[in-house]
């Protein structure tokens, strides 16, 4: 009952702070909260939790009421390197960070 998401275009630092909201909750409560939260990370985590829920129902025949968010691991993905040109032919680096997310649902 797992779901993975690679190279999401949001920094891992921002995503880790928001993951604390969902970690350890029942799946139903987590989906209700994430559906109406007005943040970019909420939409990303909603899709991931929903995907893991459907994997649990389809592959393992689990019921929604028994599931809760177990492991939610956020790691650093690839970094897109861009630049902002400045005077004298120099450049300031711009690092566009991405995240890898691993979610595992567990049964109570």
User: pLDDT tens for residues 7-23?
Assistant: 999 999 999 988 999 99
Domain limits at 61?
Answer: 2-107
When pLDDT is cut at 50, 70 and 90, the band that residue 108 belongs to is: confident
Separation between Cα atoms, residue 50 and residue 55, nearest integer Å: 9
- The helix or strand, by DSSP H or E, that contains position 13, with its residue range, turns out to be helix 12-22
Which contacts of 53-60 are long-range, i.e. CB under 8 A and separated by 24 or more positions? 53/27, 53/105, 55/1, 55/2, 55/3, 56/1, 56/105, 59/1, 60/1
Q: CATH number of the domain that 93 lies in?
A: 3.90.470.10
Rounded-to-10 torsion of CA 15, 21, 23, 27: -110
Q: What is the mean pLDDT of the chain?
A: 94
Q: How many domains does the chain have?
A: 1
Mean pLDDT of 41-64: 93
Environment class of 55 (CB within 10 Å of its CB; exposed 0-12, middle 13-18, buried 19+): middle
Residue 81 has pLDDT above 90, yes or no: yes
The reported pLDDT for the residue numbered 1 is 84
């Amino acid at each position: 009952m797992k779901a993975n998401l690679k190279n999401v275009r949001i920094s891992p630092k921002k995503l880790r702070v928001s993951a604390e909201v969902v970690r350890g909750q029942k799946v139903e409560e987590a989906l209700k909260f994430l559906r109406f939260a007005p943040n970019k990370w909420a939409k990303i985590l909603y899709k991931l939790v929903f995907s893991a829920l459907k994997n649990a129902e389809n592959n393992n025949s689990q019921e929604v009421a028994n599931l809760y968010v177990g492991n939610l691991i956020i790691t650093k993905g690839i970094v897109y390197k861009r630049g902002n040109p400045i005077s004298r032919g120099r450049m300031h680096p711009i690092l566009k960070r991405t995240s890898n997310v691993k979610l595992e649902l567990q049964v109570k």
